[in-house]
């Protein structure tokens, strides 16, 4: 049994976080495990509140699933604060690849990571990552620079790579233009993937992309082919959406809609 574990917040609206990750794992034939870091009250339009779990609860969940399952990949989403980042770093076993989605702000603008936690994320967790998947605002924070062009994306990716991760996927969804471009930056160079930019946004696309990446790593792919497969997966999910917020459609490779 191939398993992957998401360490993230719970989304009461089901469109992002733990719920979206589990649906993605299921669509890709991977058994999904979870470590919940926070409970949120949200829907597709807004986050109304967040309540962090204590770090000992986060650590206990990681230890429990690690003791009971052969985990092929780990993925982090919303970690929320420095104590939980340190708990994850302490409890996370070595061996399986780690995908870090550095969730900092929700699509609706709600702050999801404390400012004083960024230092711990950079110094403690990112050096252990197989892939880090920032969007442009997150890349600006991690790279400490303005990102407004594809050239800026590459430069930011190289700066984040220097933090110790093995690869970085800088997601270009916030750039203007008719084509959506994502860049994978690793020690071998830069790999761009482009696709159609749709005239609507969807809730949870970043969570689904990083979960798909983790699922493909759990199935034995290396970072570059996993990036290609995850990009195909999320492009399909966005294309099949109806155009309204929260309407992301998670579709397995056989064409069955999971949600």
Q: Name the residue ranges covered by the structural domains of the chain.
A: 3-239
Under 8 Å CB-to-CB from 7, ≥6 apart: which residues? Answer: 34, 35, 37, 58, 62, 74, 75, 76, 77, 79, 88
The residue-averaged pLDDT of 223-247 equals 80
Look at residue 220 and tell me whether its pLDDT is greater than 70.
Answer: yes
Determine the Cα–Cα distance for residues 102 and 108; give it in Å rounded to an integer.
16
What integer best gives the mean pLDDT of the chain?
A: 89
Rounded distance, CA 11 to CA 113, Å?
15
Burial of 7-41, coded b for 16+ CB within 10 Å and e otherwise, reads: bbbbbbbbbbbbbbbbbbbbbbebbbbbbbbbbbe
d(CA 204, CA 107): 8
CA 154, 160, 166, 170 dihedral sign is negative
| Percentage of the chain lying above the pLDDT 90 cut | 70
Count of helices and strands (H, E) across the chain: 8, 9
The top-level CATH class assigned to 3-239 is alpha beta
Residues 6+ apart with CB under 8 A from 215: 4, 24, 25, 28, 29, 30, 73, 230
> In the structure, what pLDDT confidence band is assigned to residue 199 with cuts at 50, 70 and 90?
low
- Residues 5-21 have pLDDT tens digits of 999 999 998 889 999 99
pLDDT of residue 6: 98
Looking at residue 46, its pLDDT comes to: 84
Tokens 């991690």, located at residue: 142
Around Cβ 116, how many Cβ atoms within 10 Å? Answer: 9
Q: What are phi and psi of 188, to 5 degrees?
A: -90, -5
For the residues 221-234, what does the mean pLDDT come to?
A: 96
Question: Can you tell me the distance from the alpha carbon of 192 to that of 184, in angstroms, rounded to the nearest whole number?
Answer: 6
Distance between CA atoms of residues 228 and 24, nearest Å = 16
For residues 47-65, average pLDDT: 96
CA–CA separation, 164 and 45 (whole Å): 35
- Tell whether the model's pLDDT for residue 257 goes beyond 90: no
Please check the confidence at residue 177 and state whether its pLDDT lies above 80: no
| 61-108 pLDDT, tens digit each | 999 999 999 999 999 999 999 999 999 999 999 999 999 999 887 665
Average pLDDT over residues 44-55: 90
pLDDT over 50 (residue 244) = no
DSSP structure string for 108-154? TS-B-S-GGGHHHIIIIIGGG-SEE--BHHHHHHHHTS---SHHHHH
Residue 235 — pLDDT band, cuts 50, 70, 90? confident
pLDDT recorded at residue 245:
47
Report whether pLDDT(136) > 70. Answer: yes
Helix (H) or strand (E) holding 196: strand 189-196
Nearest alpha carbon to residue 207 among 131, 82, 103 = 103
Query: Residue 161 and residue 156: Cα distance in Å, rounded?
Result: 9
């Amino acid at each position: 049994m191939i398993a992957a574990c998401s360490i993230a917040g719970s989304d009461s609206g089901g469109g992002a976080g733990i719920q979206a990750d589990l649906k993605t794992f299921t669509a890709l034939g991977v058994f999904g495990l979870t470590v919940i870091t926070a409970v949120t009250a949200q829907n597709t339009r807004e986050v109304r509140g967040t309540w962090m779990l204590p770090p000992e609860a986060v650590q206990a969940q990681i230890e429990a699933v690690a003791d009971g399952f052969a985990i092929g990949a780990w993925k982090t989403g919303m970690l929320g604060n420095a104590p939980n980042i340190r708990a994850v770093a302490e409890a996370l076993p070595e061996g399986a690849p780690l995908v870090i989605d550095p969730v900092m702000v929700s699509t609706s603008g709600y702050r999801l990571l404390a400012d004083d936690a960024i230092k711990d994320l950079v110094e403690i967790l990112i050096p252990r990552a197989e892939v880090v998947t920032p969007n442009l605002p997150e890349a600006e924070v991690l790279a400490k620079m303005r990102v407004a062009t594809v050239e800026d994306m590459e430069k930011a990716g190289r700066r984040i790579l220097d933090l110790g991760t093995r690869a970085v996927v800088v997601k270009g969804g916030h750039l203007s233009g008719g084509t959506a471009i994502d860049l994978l930056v690793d020690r071998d160079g830069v790999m761009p993937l482009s696709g159609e930019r749709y005239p609507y946004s969807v809730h949870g696309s970043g969570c689904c992309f990083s979960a798909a990446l983790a699922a493909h790593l759990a199935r034995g792919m290396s970072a570059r082919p996993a990036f290609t497969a995850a990009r195909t997966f999320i492009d399909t999910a966005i294309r099949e959406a109806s155009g309204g917020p929260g309407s992301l459609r998670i579709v397995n490779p056989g064409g069955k809609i999971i949600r």
